[in-house]
Amino acid sequence: MHPRLFKTPALAAALIALIGVCSQAQAHNPMCECKAIEDGQIRCTGGFSDGSGAPGVTLDVIGYDETILVPGKLGADSTLTFKRPDSEFYVLFDAGPGHIVEIDQADIEAP
């Protein structure tokens, strides 16, 4: 059982062979961080815990009523900048079912 998300399957196979029971340390968990920047904008940066980026991954800004306010994808630099919505919202970094990071508006740092 290797309930892990690896960026490189071949590397994962090698690591599992090498590390055996200790492969947990090499798991690459998805991560996402959002910060308020100037002009009421918010910038979110996605990636994986091994330090690699996540360009092209879906990042949606969703209202508390579940309407998608800003549908987006991370750019080549693994970031997405959007205007802070007027209504209550959360940010969903979505690399696929079960590979998500959710950030509530309350957890977005002020500039």
Where on the chain is the footprint of another protein (CB under 8 A)?
A: 1-11, 13-14, 18-22, 24-31, 33, 47-57, 62, 64, 66, 90, 92, 94-102
Considering beta carbons, is residue 39 or 98 the nearer one to another protein?
98
Spatial CB neighbours of 106, under 8 Å, sequence gap ≥ 6: none
Q: Shortest distance, CB of residue 84 to another protein, whole angstroms?
A: 19
Considering beta carbons, is residue 30 or 42 the nearer one to another protein?
30
Which contiguous run of DSSP H or E holds residue 103?
Answer: strand 100-104
Which amino acid does the sequence have at 109? E
DSSP 2-48: -----S-HHHHHHHHHHHGGGGGGG---EEEEEEE-GGGEEEEEEEE
Considering beta carbons, is residue 42 or 78 the nearer one to another protein?
78
Q: Shortest distance, CB of residue 39 to another protein, whole angstroms?
A: 26
Q: Shortest distance, CB of residue 78 to another protein, whole angstroms?
A: 10
